[in-house]
Structure 1
Amino acid sequence: MASVQDVFVIPDGAAGALAELERRKFTAEEGDHLTLLNAYNAFVRYGRSSSWCKNHALSFRGMSRAVSIRSQLKKYMQRLNLPLESCQGDGKRLRKCLVAGYSRNGARWMADGTYRSVRGDQVMHVHPTSVLFTRKPASGWVVFHEMEETKKLQIRLITEIEPDWLLEYGNVATGKKASS
């Protein structure tokens, strides 16, 4: 899902307001990665049609592409004899996996509403399409999938994490004092 751009179709105007309500049905409090997973799982379970996607403000083309990419990844894993494991709906386990893969993309929330990267202490802003655009993560920490530079540095595909996970799974110093 992270490889597919803009799976949510949010037009301008009144139609956009309705589409935004549909998008919220998939929203995971933890952030964008789990929101995308919710949309993917719903598409696979109930949809797989362009009319279903249209009714739920999703791009049929994008969702179909995500199914194809997942199928290709599964074949590669089987060919390489890698174990096929699922988080079985365990969002915490999935978020820990994200930290293991994207630990260098960790960031800490600041009081002014920006984030500071764990690598380079860069000031970053949440992209307006993120579930966390108007929310402060309870832990104050996130991992992001990509950065985009426009007039300011923005982070996309953001998920809340626990700062200790950066130490445990990503070998990254967070600046947080360890307790004994």
Structure 2
Amino acid sequence: MKFEWVSSPPAESVLRAIEGLFAAGMIDDDGRLTAVGEKVSECPVEVGIARMLFSSKEFKCGEEILSIAAMTAVQDVFVIPDGAPGALAELERRKFVAEEGDHLTLLNAYNAFVKYGRSSGWCKGHALSFRAMSRAVSIRLQLKKYMQRFGLPLESCQGDAKRLRQCLVSGYWRNGARWVADGTYRSVRGNTVLHVHPNSVLFTRKPKTVSIS
């Protein structure tokens, strides 16, 4: 496969990208887009998230994955200032924390925002960015149109965290890591040392395996 580049990327980077697309079922042995790959290429999100959206049909969790995909597309969802106000804000953030990890924590925050009126005042009182949350609602509406276009059902997993996590892994499978005895996480692919971000709900815990997005 040859392309014309303004500035050619390292050959190794291109090879890794192609390997990732092939492993995810986006391209075939000849480097051509598969049926799923053609659909994914039309989604305005990165491949891993698009893969999750399509996998949601298998795991019957389209409603939840749609919300998670939208939330991962925005930044600085939680507003944690310095000093004493930050300590109070952290207490509010913990109300949304899911022991299964950050993605389900984001889902809890989104569901609460929608349930309680989508107001800036409510966000301020619960350590959430009204701008980020409003943006997530907008992105979700856009992604919902793509799911409907491709006939992906908007089913709910009804709180089944196991199915939801399985769907998440289908998109972030390349980012899997396992905890080792020296106290670090090593990537499943390449055995690279990885670190859990201090803002992650898993930072103070030591699950045996994690998927880093």
In the aligned structure 2, how far is the partner of 1:38 from the partner of 1:125? 24
* Aligned mates of 1:69, 1:113 — CA distance in 2: 37
- Counterparts of 1:86 and 1:70, CA distance in 2: 15
User: Identity of aligned pairs, percent?
Assistant: 83
The reply on whether 1:114 has 2:181 as its aligned counterpart is no
Give distance in 1, aligned partners of 2:77 and 2:141: 18
Which of 152, 159, 174 pairs up with 1:104?
174
Give the superposition deviation at 1:8.
0.4
Structure in which a larger fraction of residues adopt helix: 2
Larger Rg: 2
- The farther-off stretch of 76-85 and 17-26 is 76-85
Shift of 1:101: 1.2
2:195 to 118, 125, 133: 125
**Aligned mate of 1:62, from 132, 137, 149:** 132
The alignment's TM-score, normalised by the length of structure 2, stands at 0.65
- Do 1:31 and 1:132's aligned partners in 2 also have CA atoms closer than 8 Å? yes
CA distance in 2, matches of 1:104, 1:38: 25
Is it true that 1:48 corresponds to 2:118 in the alignment?
Answer: yes
Equivalenced residue count is: 143
Displacement, 1:88?
2.2
Contact 1:23 1:56 in 2 (8 A): yes
Q: Which residue of 2 aligns with 1:87?
A: 157
Q: What residue number does 1:155 align with? A: none
- Counterpart-to-counterpart distance in 2, 1:131 and 1:27: 7
Q: Determine which structure has the larger strand proportion and give its number.
A: 1
Correspondence for 2:212 among 132, 141, 144: 144
| Inter-partner Cα distance in structure 1 for 2:123 and 2:134 | 10
Contact 1:109 1:136 in 2 (8 A): yes
Aligned to 1:25: 95
Structure 1: gaps (5+ residues): 146-180
RMSD: 1.0
Q: Is the 8 A contact 1:107 1:116 kept in 2?
A: yes
**What is the CA distance between 1:79 and its match in structure 2?**
1.8
Shift of 1:114: 1.6
Deviation at 1:31, TM superposition (A): 0.7
**Which residue identity does 1:10 align to in structure 2?**
I
Q: Distance in 1 between matches of 2:200 and 2:182?
A: 18
